Amino acid sequence: MNEIPRTERTTLKRLPKRGSFDREVINTILDEGFVCHVGFVTDDKPVVIPTGYARMGENLIIHGSRASRMLCALGKEVDVCVTVTLIDGLVLARSAFHRSMNYRSVVVFGRAHAIETRTEKLAALRALSEHMIPGRWDYVREPNERELQQTTVLSVPLNETSAKIRTGQPVDDDEDYDLPIWAGIIPLRLFAQTPVADPLLRMDVDIPGHVRSYVKP
């Protein structure tokens, strides 16, 4: 098992048995999600911004406009906390106190640094595109020089991170198991629906295979 070294910030204080430092477990969660929440402090005020991301090896990649307040602040290599959460089900207990959710989450601590070279920036943007929908990058027009100049791409190393996972049925108090109250799990999942074409799409353009067959596991 390839474990990421624990730090004071990543060591779980509550329900540590749900924690994992296994890099494969962490990577699997990151590879399934689409949105992360980036927390940082700017002008002495805490800010949390949701944004798309991709994992590129042992780094988390985020991007956006050069005018973005978040990216301007993170480009100065301030401390960040990035979280990703996947909800797998609602856990209904016999008591209100013990209701819960089944989830998989990752927390990343570190400092973002800007990707500056053209080659590295294109590789990172490709990773972001392929994370969202594999095969898309080679199908569409690549960013031109003006667009690259307008885009900031940041990388956050995944060397101070941990996962936390809850699975299974509700855990009720012993005296509550005989109550005539339904308990169990409502499973939840994200799935792709039928693609909807842009009304301005040319009539002679067919749906490409990577769109027609898209399925997010």
In the structure, what pLDDT confidence band is assigned to residue 165 with cuts at 50, 70 and 90? Answer: very high
| CATH number given to 16-212 | 2.30.110.10
What's the mean pLDDT in 16-22? 88
Host H or E run for residue 9:
none
What's the mean pLDDT in 172-199? 95
H helices, E strands: number in the chain: 5, 11
**What is the model's pLDDT at position 74?**
66
The pair of three-digit structure tokens given for residue 199, joined into one six-digit string: 């009304």
Share of the chain above pLDDT 70, in %: 94
**Biggest alpha carbon distance in the chain?**
67
206 compared with 75, residue with greater pLDDT: 206
Domain boundaries, the chain: 16-212
What's the mean pLDDT in 141-150? 93
On average, the pLDDT of the chain sits at 91
**What is the model's pLDDT at position 171?**
95
Classify residue 70 as exposed, middle or buried by CB count within 10 Å of its CB (0-12, 13-18, 19+).
Answer: buried
**Chain segment 53-78, per-residue pLDDT in tens:** 999 999 999 987 776 767 677 667 77
- Predicted TM-score (pTM) of the model is 0.91
